[in-house]
Amino acid sequence: MAVYKDKKRNTYYYSVYVDLPNGEKKRFMKRGFKSKKEAKDAEIDFLYNFDVEDEENLSFGKIADMYLDWYKKRRKESSYMKIESVVRIHLKPRFEHKKIKDISKRDVIRFHDHLLDNLGVASAKKVHTVLSATLNYAIRLEYLKVNVAREVGNIEMKEPKRLDFWTIDEFKQFIQEADELLFRTLFMVLFYGGLRKGEALALTWKDIDFDNNTIDINKTVYHNRVTSPKNESSNRKIKMPQHTMKLLGELKLQNKNKIDYVVFGEYYNHVSHTTIDRRFEEYIKQSKVKRIRIHDLRHSHASYLINLGNDIQIISKRLGHANTSTTYDIYSHLYPNAEDEAIEKMENDFKPASVVNISDYK
């Protein structure tokens, strides 16, 4: 404990080190006192009211802010924005002012119930994952010893698989109504390429190889910003059918675009999401096909390839999945029953041999 004079300001300040439970020392200092006695009295008052436990048992809100700051410096901006929104919308309203060490297993289980009342299973599980990651960060900084979210475990429910998609006939019915070249080409690329909408909007003419009929997918649009793809496997080159490449060629000639201009838009600005969504809805209404999301064109691409009998490795590569297990997990129910086919082949092993009369050949 000590009181010092600030010669520059002609005032006094106190400076004190406090022993924390983790063995470290932390310095606390306050300036601006008019007299030495005033600074001394303030120091005594600070030490009397100081709660060492409060310094080590931070609120969840403070830990979450620290975690977000750490995450932002080490991850893609698009990934950070997703995590930040989960913390802001779901975690802080529930835990912001609760001390990190006071969060119990009971709190986590009740939070699960709250999430399931308001979100789908998949979304609720993602929120739990971010909660657990935040508590893991607190452990790393020695503010916690146990991650109660991990001990409770994630929500033990599976969301029923529900994939909406169009058959090739439904897509043909839809695309006939797309009377504007830009949107007709965009929806053809999405259906026949399996691209995510953000990947298509990030395409520039440099990514279109008319000589080899390929599209180079190496970036995406997220919240109107061009960023790297979802993951490393999302970087890919895919072959496209001639009819779709022909439409891309017509679009390029129509706009006389430079190599670094975006494909679906003007100059460096892609067409807006709202405009795409509005046109998509208009064409659905006009064609009278069932309503699906734009992202479901990606599922339609996968379904189309499966029905053509393509190998799962080809489908996985075109979709930019990290491995075939991801592809199969999503689309396994679309595959014909391989076990039934195997049994049918086994049945042929011991079929009675037909009797051949040699005289028939004489």
Q: Could you tell me if 137 and 274 lie in one domain?
A: no
How many other C-beta atoms can be found within 10 angstroms of the C-beta atom of residue 167? 13
Shared domain check, 71 and 48: no
Q: Is the dihedral of CA 235, 237, 240, 245 positive or negative?
A: positive
Q: Is 104 part of a structural domain of the chain?
A: yes
- Same domain membership, residue 38 and residue 69: no
One domain for residues 24 and 76: no
Same domain, 192 and 302: yes
- Using the predicted structure, report yes or no on whether residue 220 has a pLDDT greater than 60: yes
According to the model, what pLDDT value does residue 350 have?
67
237 and 300 in a common domain:
yes
How confident is the model at residue 117, as a pLDDT? 84
Least confident stretch, 50-54, 207-211, 255-259: 50-54
Residue 350 included in any domain: no
Whether 72 and 40 map to the same domain: the answer is no
- Residues 233 and 112 occupy one common structural domain: no
pLDDT over 70, % of the chain: 88
Question: If you average pLDDT over every residue of the chain, what do you get?
Answer: 87
Distance, in Å, from the CA atom of 344 to the CA atom of 313, rounded to the nearest integer, reads 25
Q: Please, which pLDDT band fits residue 132 given cuts at 50, 70 and 90?
A: very high
- Give the per-residue SS3 of 260-299: CCECCEECCEECCHHHHHHHHHHHHHHHCCCCCCCCHHHH
Whether the predicted pLDDT of 204 surpasses 70: yes
Domain count, the chain: 3
| 32: containing domain | 2-56
Higher pLDDT, 47 or 149: 149
Encode pLDDT of 302-348 as tens digits.
999 988 888 889 999 999 998 888 888 888 777 666 566 667 767 77
Predicted pLDDT of residue 361: 43
pLDDT at residue 143 above 70?
yes
Question: Does residue 142 lie in a domain region?
Answer: yes
51 lies in the same domain as 69: no
Residue 342 lies in a domain: no
Which of 177-181, 191-195, 253-257 has the least mean pLDDT?
Answer: 253-257
**pLDDT tens across 15-52, in order?**
988 776 556 777 888 889 999 999 898 888 887 776 65
Confidence class of residue 161 from pLDDT cuts 50, 70 and 90?
low
Q: Where are the alpha helices (DSSP H) in 76-120?
A: 77-86, 92-95, 105-118
The answer, yes or no, to whether residue 362 has pLDDT greater than 50, is no
pTM, whole model, 2 decimals? 0.63
Nearest to 155 by CA among 136, 127, 134, 188: 127
DSSP-derived 3-state class of residue 351? coil
Q: What is the mean pLDDT of residues 161-188?
A: 92
Asked if 215 and 237 touch (Cβ cutoff 8 Å), the reply is yes
Does residue 271 lie in a domain region?
A: yes
Whether 339 is covered by a domain: the verdict is no
**pLDDT per position as a tens digit, 265-278:** 988 999 999 999 99
Query: What per-residue confidence (pLDDT) applies to 119?
Result: 83
Instruction: Among 152, 186, 216, give the residue marking a domain's end.
Output: 152
* Long-range contacts of the stretch 69-78 (C-beta < 8 A, 24+): 70/137, 76/227, 76/228, 77/222, 77/225, 77/227, 78/220, 78/222, 78/223, 78/225, 78/227
193, 325: one domain: yes
Q: Is the pLDDT of residue 353 over 60?
A: no
Domain of 266, CATH number, reads 1.10.443.10
Structure tokens at 342: 């195997």
Q: What percent of the chain has pLDDT over 90?
A: 57
CB atoms within 10 A of CB 141: 14
Residue 305 belongs to some domain of the structure: yes
Task: Please check the confidence at residue 153 and state whether its pLDDT lies above 60.
Answer: yes
Query: How much is the pLDDT for 121?
Result: 86
Assess if residue 161 is contained within a domain. Answer: no
Statement: residue 127 has pLDDT above 50: yes
Task: Give the end of a domain, one of 96, 119, 152.
Answer: 152
pLDDT of amino acid 211: 94
Which pLDDT value is given to residue 135?
Answer: 96
Q: What is the CATH number of the domain that holds 133?
A: 1.10.150.130
Of the three residues 100, 125, 152, the one that is the final residue of a domain is 152
Same domain? For 232 and 179 the reply is yes
- Considering the domain architecture, whether residues 324 and 212 belong to the same structural domain is answered as yes
List the one residue out of 56, 148, 128 whose CA is nearest residue 86. 128
